[in-house]
Amino acid sequence: MTAARPLEPARALKEYAPSTLEVLTSIRREGFLGWQMKVWREQGDLVRVRMGAREFVLVTHPEHVRHINVTQREHYDKAESYDVLRELLLGNGIVTAVGDDWRRQRKLMAPFFTPRGVEKFFPIFVSDTQELMERWRAQQGARRPVEMLDEMMKVTAAVILHSVFSTDSGETLLRIKHSIERMITHITDIQMSPVRIPQWVPTPGNLRFRRAHTLVTGYIQELIARRRTLPAEQWPDDLLTKLMTTRDEETGTLMVEQLLVDNGITMFAAGHETTARTLAFLWYALSQNPEVERRLHAELDAVLGDAPPTISDLKKLPYTLQVVKEVLRLYPAAPMYARDAIADDTLDGVHIPQGTRTIIFTYATHRHPDFWEAPERFDPDRWLPEREAARHAQAYHPFAAGPRICLGNNFSLLETHVMTAMLARRFKMRLKPGHVPQFDLFGTLGSRNGLPMLIEAR
Enumerate binding residues for ligand HEM (CB under 6 A).
Answer: 94-95, 106, 267, 270-271, 274-275, 278, 333-334, 337, 398-400, 404, 406-408, 411-412
Nearer to ligand HEM, 7 or 125 (CB): 125
Give the sign of the dihedral formed by CA 427, CA 433, CA 435, CA 437. Answer: positive
Nearer to ligand HEM, 91 or 408 (CB): 408
Pairing mode, if any, of strands 452-457 and 427-431?
antiparallel
Nearer to ligand HEM, 39 or 336 (CB): 336
Closest distance of CB 268 from ligand HEM, Å: 9
Nearer to ligand HEM, 7 or 152 (CB): 152
**How many angstroms separate the Cα of 11 from the Cα of each of 2, 7, 27, 412?**
21, 7, 27, 38
Nearer to ligand HEM, 179 or 278 (CB): 278
Taking residue 129's Cβ as centre, other Cβ atoms within 10 Å add up to 22
d(CA 234, CA 164): 16
Closest distance of CB 301 from ligand HEM, Å: 26
Closest distance of CB 120 from ligand HEM, Å: 13
**In this structure, are residues 212 and 183 in contact, taking their beta carbons and an 8 Å threshold?**
yes
Closest distance of CB 275 from ligand HEM, Å: 4
Closest distance of CB 93 from ligand HEM, Å: 8
Nearer to ligand HEM, 155 or 334 (CB): 334
> Which residues on adjacent β-strands are paired with residue 55?
50
Closest distance of CB 242 from ligand HEM, Å: 13
User: For the stretch 56-71, what's the b/e string if a residue is b when 16 or more beta carbons lie within 10 angstroms of its beta carbon?
Assistant: bbbbbbbbbbbbbbee
Nearer to ligand HEM, 270 or 429 (CB): 270
First to last CA, the chain: 39
Closest distance of CB 406 from ligand HEM, Å: 3
Task: Report the residue closest to ligand HEM, judged by CB.
Answer: 408
What element of type H or E holds 87?
A: none
d(CA 219, CA 89): 14
**In this structure, are residues 411 and 271 in contact, taking their beta carbons and an 8 Å threshold?**
yes
Taking residue 128's Cβ as centre, other Cβ atoms within 10 Å add up to 23
